[in-house]
């Protein structure tokens, strides 16, 4: 069988100096920055009706160096029992370091606040499920999150703050 490409694997560019072209997002690290689980009324909180659960989510990003950014996903789940007592509280701060190359400047913020949290979320979801199960409750399985919709609503809120009559112009960071 002959090789039509002269021995290459069909990739554009040959030899050790070949570099992939176009935009790149690399996950350089993922880690738990902070994790807390409180079950203040155990073992009585483990009995009775299913608690009402409120979920809070926050995404933040900051530059670390040239083409490197830390994205932090904060998840908080508060469970209330039937007598309005705290059943459990989970707080997770899960982060990742991302390398962005070849990305236009105007696309960096949406990537950091939409795509990067989308990559982190399944891991954070698993940790929250595991920790609630280890606390004696059924695993709390967080619903998928539309980070694009969250980003759009955040941008709309910032745009409303910049409307004429609301003071000077502010710049998105």
pLDDT average, residue stretch 39-68: 86
Contact status, residue 68 vs residue 62, Cβ threshold 8 Å? no
Mean pLDDT of the chain: 83
C-alpha span between 101 and 108 (Å, rounded): 10
* DSSP SS3 for 67: coil
Which distant-in-sequence residues (6+ apart) come within 8 Å of 129 by Cβ? Answer: 139, 140, 141, 142
C-alpha span between 25 and 112 (Å, rounded): 10
Residue 127 is predicted with a pLDDT of 98
> Residue 81: is its pLDDT beyond 60?
yes
Domain boundaries, the chain: 24-137
pLDDT digits (tens, 9 = 90+) for 13-22: 455 555 557 8
Domain at 24-137, CATH from 1.10.10.10, 3.10.420.10, 3.40.50.20, 3.20.20.70: 3.10.420.10
Which runs of consecutive H residues, i.e. helices, occur in 5-115? 105-110
Strand partners, 98: 27, 69
pLDDT above 70 coverage of the chain, percent? 81
Closest CA to 118 of 154, 146, 141: 146
pLDDT above 90 coverage of the chain, percent? 54
pTM: 0.77
Residue 6 is predicted with a pLDDT of 43
Residue 19 is predicted with a pLDDT of 58
For 113, half-sphere exposure in the C-beta direction (CA atoms, 13 angstrom radius) is 21
Which residue shows structure tokens 């409303």? 160
Residue 17 is predicted with a pLDDT of 57
pLDDT digits (tens, 9 = 90+) for 161-172: 877 654 444 333
Residue 94 is predicted with a pLDDT of 98
pLDDT average, residue stretch 128-153: 92
Residue 36 is predicted with a pLDDT of 97
C-alpha span between 25 and 27 (Å, rounded): 7
């Amino acid at each position: 069988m002959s090789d039509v490409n002269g021995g290459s694997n069909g990739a554009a560019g040959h030899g050790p100096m070949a570099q992939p072209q176009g935009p790149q997002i690399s996950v350089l690290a993922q880690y738990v920055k902070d994790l807390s689980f409180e079950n203040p009324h155990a073992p009585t909180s483990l009995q009775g009706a299913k608690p009402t659960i409120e979920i809070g989510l926050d995404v933040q990003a900051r530059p670390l160096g040239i083409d490197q950014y830390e994205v932090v996903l904060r998840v908080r789940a508060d469970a209330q029992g039937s007598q309005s007592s705290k059943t459990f509280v989970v707080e997770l701060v899960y982060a990742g370091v991302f390398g962005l190359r070849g990305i236009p400047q105007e696309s960096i913020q949406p990537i950091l606040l939409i795509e990067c949290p989308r990559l982190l979320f399944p891991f954070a979801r698993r940790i929250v499920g595991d920790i609630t199960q280890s606390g004696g409750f059924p695993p709390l399985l967080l619903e998928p999150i539309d980070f694009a919709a969250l980003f759009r609503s955040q941008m709309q809120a910032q745009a409303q703050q910049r409307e004429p009559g609301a003071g000077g112009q502010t710049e998105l960071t």
